[in-house]
Amino acid sequence: MPHPIQLSRPVSRGTRLPGRGDSQAGSEEVPWVRSLLITVALLFAATFLLMPLLNVFAQALVGGWKFYLASLLEPDTRAAIRLTLVVAAISVPLNCVFGLAAAWAIAKFQFKGKTLVTALIDLPFAVSPVVVGLLLVLIFGRGGFLGPWLEEHNLHILFNTPGIVLATVFITSPFVARELIPVMQATGSEQEQAALTLGASGWKTFWHVTLPSVKWGLLYGVILCNARAMGEFGAVSVVSGHITGLTDTMPLRVEKLHQSATAASSTAAFALASLLALLALLTLALKTLLEWKQHRDFARAQQAPQSFSAAKSGAANVHVIQVQP
Amino acid sequence: MSIELRNVSKSFGEITAVDRVSFSVKEGELVALLGPSGGGKTTVLRMIAGLELPTEGDLFIRGRRVNDIPVQRRNIGFVFQNYALFKNMSVFNNIAFGLKVKKWRKPDLRERVHELLGLLGLDGLDKRYPHQLSGGQRQRVAIARALASKPSVVLLDEPFGAVDAKIRQELREWLVTLHNDLNVTTLFVTHDQEEAMEVSNRIIIFSKGHLEQIGTPREVYEEPVNEFVARFIGVLNVLELKVSEGVARVGELEFPAHDRPEGSTLRIGFRPFAVQVSPEIAAYRSRAVLRHTYFLGVMLRLELELPSGLIIRSRMTKEEYGALGLRDGLDVSFMIRRYRILRGENEPLSQEFQSGETTFSTFGAGI
């Protein structure tokens, strides 16, 4: 540590020592500051995360177990659950393929416009989901770009499952790619080249070498992608048309049940919401597990010798002799 | 011919990494591609493997033009600098990978893998994963993997770069033994001239994308074609002299330079072996102090300091040193028996000049 911080004096913005991040400074803080920070963080988490989550389950079970199950098995709710599963089952694999292809291209090749592609991948994160929905309406809607052609061929994209899938695919497209790019960049392409020299085809190389080396990152991305695909509200809301029993996904159904004023439907809304909350908890648990596994694999990879300090003997053996004055 | 390159060039955009290189490697040879980092030698190796495509020129492996043959079908074994072992596979599966891809029968495959494990001293490690191996073991697994499906050519990229000095020495000796046993054509890249000299039958020297010289270790050492090679292979004393009245001088040293323009600079080079040292002050004309002796095993390197501060390196055997009764701090006399005139990095060297003591004295008297 080149600049030891004086622990007795709180480090304020003005006196912060150069070349030192806030997070690092925090680790050397006085005990009471540390306790305070931890308390604040825990209080925040409890108030804004844990309490609402528990409340969802409490509200869902207000009418007892029987009512809870009955409200989930209600036909329109079942249709919503089915639609959500179908949409996730289509969009997650699609984004898996897209994510792998995009990450591969970005991590292993040099090409013009790479920065642009990398930025474009993040676009769905930057755009409000409602805008995404509106964009789809502009393209596939009756007065939209492709509207007349679709009508001619009797194809229904909007207010139908394809529209919902499109919206979901767009919204969730960054997850897999974003997880894979750093993993693939860290792995490099030498293992793939080795496989090629051993006679493996491109496909075999991908299947036996590339995929296993990114499997945890891929799963991590898939899980996040899936959670978002099932939970997406904004974009789906714009393109779904809210046809009960047909184009309502779980989040849309939750909202609809919640909007209708009866106490029973409100409880049913919480029952369905509790399913989404469970999905979130499961996602978090899996995410933590995968993070740990990925970390372990990475640590192992780091044990491989990274550099070498072999003498550049060519230069070392040249002796230009000079006369000292 | 096992490998042949004819006028092969490789450009990456504006940069020419390899410039019209031609050479051939005979069946069963062990050849080093030697040169400073960035000299284009790894690119040459990768082109032979098919991992890079030449911009121009023709590549042949066992007489067949392979320019258009993809890497998978060139039947080469490639050992990467950092081994590139499949980290998700055990040692057994790493070595078996190429055989599985080529659809070897299970029993044959098992037999071949165990044969290689034995040959490379990896017995009992077949179930380990790469992260559970030492650097030297990883290296040997990488070589076993490359050898598994009996390639016609083995290519190694800086094979000993990533292991420490002691293991490097072991691996070198072991590579020579292995090559003698298997007799498979082997081409390896190195930037370490000592490694190239010790291991290979022939050395191909590269610099800045150009092939500088091909020859046996002895040829490139004793008959370097230009200054670059002379300086890169072994130790070379280089003197920069000023010409005045037909004599080139630096410090106390003088060399004849009748045909040189007044005031010009003359550079000469000589091997430490060419410096003859005697403990008798009167034996030779030039005087120096034996500043330090470096023990390099059988050979010793002597550092002579002239009164003017010039440092010259000499080399001799331990026996010679003992017989002469030399020791550090002793006043000695010396002479430079042979030297060459250096004309610039890539210019051919002059023939060797003999500078007997007679020349020296005649020379001194003439002024």
DSSP symbols for B183-237: --EEEEEES-HHHHHHH-SEEEEEETTEEEEEE-HHHHHHS-SBHHHHHHSS-EE
pLDDT greater than 80 at residue A308: no
Tokens encoding B348: 């051919």
Nearest CA in chain A to B269: A320
> How far is Cα B248 from Cα A169, in angstroms, rounded to an integer?
80
pLDDT greater than 60 at residue B34: yes
The answer to whether A305 contacts B82, with C-beta atoms less than 8 Å apart, is yes
Nearest CA in chain B to A308: B162
Are A86 and A78 within 8 A, CB to CB? no
pLDDT of residue A313: 32
Which residues of chain B lie closer than 8 angstroms to A307, CB-CB? 162
pLDDT greater than 50 at residue A173: yes
pLDDT bin (cut points 50, 70, 90) of residue A315 is very low
Write the residue in A204, A304, A321 that is nearest to B239 by C-beta: A321
Q: By the CB < 8 Å criterion, does A208 face chain B?
A: yes
The answer to whether A198 contacts B98, with C-beta atoms less than 8 Å apart, is yes
Which residues of chain A lie closer than 8 angstroms to B96, CB-CB? none
Write the residue in A198, A213, A313 that is nearest to B87 by C-beta: A213
List phi, psi (to 5°) of B299: -95, 150
pLDDT bin (cut points 50, 70, 90) of residue A302 is low
Q: What is the mean pLDDT of chain A?
A: 82
The answer to whether B145 contacts A194, with C-beta atoms less than 8 Å apart, is yes
pLDDT of residue A8: 38
Selected residue of A204, A323, A324 to mutate for chain B interface (largest B Cβ count, 10 A) = A323
Q: By the CB < 8 Å criterion, does A296 face chain B?
A: no
* Listed residue (B348, B188, B162) closest to A304, CA to CA: B162
Which residues of chain B lie closer than 8 angstroms to A320, CB-CB? 238, 240
The answer to whether B131 contacts A304, with C-beta atoms less than 8 Å apart, is yes
- For residue B102, the number of C-alpha atoms closer than 13 Å in the C-beta half-sphere is 21
- Tell me the pTM: 0.76
pLDDT of residue A301: 64
> How far is Cα B110 from Cα B112, in angstroms, rounded to an integer?
6
Counting one residue from chain A and one from chain B, the pairs whose CB atoms sit within 8 A come to: 136
Closest CA–CA distance from residue A214 to any residue of chain B (Å): 10
Range in B52-56, B153-157, B164-168, B307-311 with the lowest mean pLDDT: B164-168
pLDDT bin (cut points 50, 70, 90) of residue A27 is low
Write the residue in B78, B231, B308 that is nearest to A197 by C-beta: B78
Greatest mean pLDDT among A290-304, B16-30, B330-344: B16-30
Closest CA–CA distance from residue B120 to any residue of chain A (Å): 19
Which residues of chain B lie closer than 8 angstroms to A297, CB-CB? 87
**Degrees, nearest 5: CA angle B72-B76-B79:** 105
User: What pLDDT, in 10s, does the model give residues A218-229?
Assistant: 988 999 999 999
Residue whose pair of structure tokens reads 């079970």 in the numeric block: A61
DSSP character for A232? -
pLDDT bin (cut points 50, 70, 90) of residue A92 is very high
DSSP character for B348? B
pLDDT of residue A245: 87
pLDDT bin (cut points 50, 70, 90) of residue A303 is low
pLDDT greater than 60 at residue B363: no
Which residues of chain B lie closer than 8 angstroms to A303, CB-CB? 131
Residue with the larger pLDDT of the pair B365 and B125: B125
Q: By the CB < 8 Å criterion, does A316 face chain B?
A: no
pLDDT of residue A31: 87
Write the residue in B49, B160, B235 that is nearest to A197 by C-beta: B49
Domains of chain B, with CATH numbers? 3-232 (3.40.50.300), 270-366 (2.40.50.100)
Nearest CA in chain A to B151: A198
Instruction: Provide the β-strand partners of residue B15.
Output: B12
* Listed residue (B161, B9, B164, B141) closest to A194, CA to CA: B141
pLDDT of residue B171: 82
Segment B88-114 shows an average pLDDT of: 95
pLDDT greater than 90 at residue B170: no
Which residues of chain B lie closer than 8 angstroms to A184, CB-CB? none
> How far is Cα A215 from Cα B259, in angstroms, rounded to an integer?
73
- For residue A304, the number of C-alpha atoms closer than 13 Å in the C-beta half-sphere is 19
Closest CA–CA distance from residue B73 to any residue of chain A (Å): 6
Segment A157-177 shows an average pLDDT of: 93
Does the ipTM exceed 0.85?
no
Query: Could you tell me which residues come within 8 angstroms of residue A236 by beta carbon, excluding any fewer than 6 positions away?
Result: A129, A133, A164, A167, A168, A249, A251, A252
> In 10 A of CB A39, how many CB atoms?
10
Segment B287-308 shows an average pLDDT of: 90
pLDDT greater than 50 at residue A21: no
pLDDT of residue B37: 86
pLDDT of residue B244: 87
pLDDT of residue A181: 92
Segment B192-206 shows an average pLDDT of: 91
Tokens encoding A73: 């098995």
Topology of domain A63-299 in CATH is MetI-like fold (1.10.3720)
User: What pLDDT, in 10s, does the model give residues B79-99?
Assistant: 998 889 998 899 999 999 999
Tokens encoding B250: 């630096």
Selected residue of A109, A190, A197 to mutate for chain B interface (largest B Cβ count, 10 A) = A197
> How far is Cα B168 from Cα B178, in angstroms, rounded to an integer?
15
Are A175 and A99 within 8 A, CB to CB? yes
**Degrees, nearest 5: CA angle B142-B148-B151:** 100
Which residues of chain A lie closer than 8 angstroms to B251, CB-CB? 323
pLDDT bin (cut points 50, 70, 90) of residue A28 is low
Which residues of chain B lie closer than 8 angstroms to A209, CB-CB? 86, 88
Q: By the CB < 8 Å criterion, does A200 face chain B?
A: yes
pLDDT of residue B358: 43
Segment A304-319 shows an average pLDDT of: 35
User: What pLDDT, in 10s, does the model give residues A52-82?
Assistant: 889 999 989 988 899 999 999 999 999 999 9
The answer to whether B72 contacts A322, with C-beta atoms less than 8 Å apart, is no
Q: What percent of chain A is predicted at pLDDT more than 90?
A: 46
Closest CA–CA distance from residue B134 to any residue of chain A (Å): 9
Tokens encoding A229: 């695909």
Q: What is the mean pLDDT of chain B?
A: 89
Segment A176-184 shows an average pLDDT of: 92
Greatest mean pLDDT among A110-119, A308-317, B3-12, B242-251: B3-12
User: What pLDDT, in 10s, does the model give residues B313-362?
Assistant: 999 998 999 999 998 999 999 999 989 888 877 778 877 888 755 444 33
Which residues of chain A lie closer than 8 angstroms to B15, CB-CB? none
pLDDT bin (cut points 50, 70, 90) of residue A171 is very high
Range in A26-40, A98-112, B223-237, B265-279 with the lowest mean pLDDT: A26-40
Q: By the CB < 8 Å criterion, does A154 face chain B?
A: no
The answer to whether B37 contacts A320, with C-beta atoms less than 8 Å apart, is no
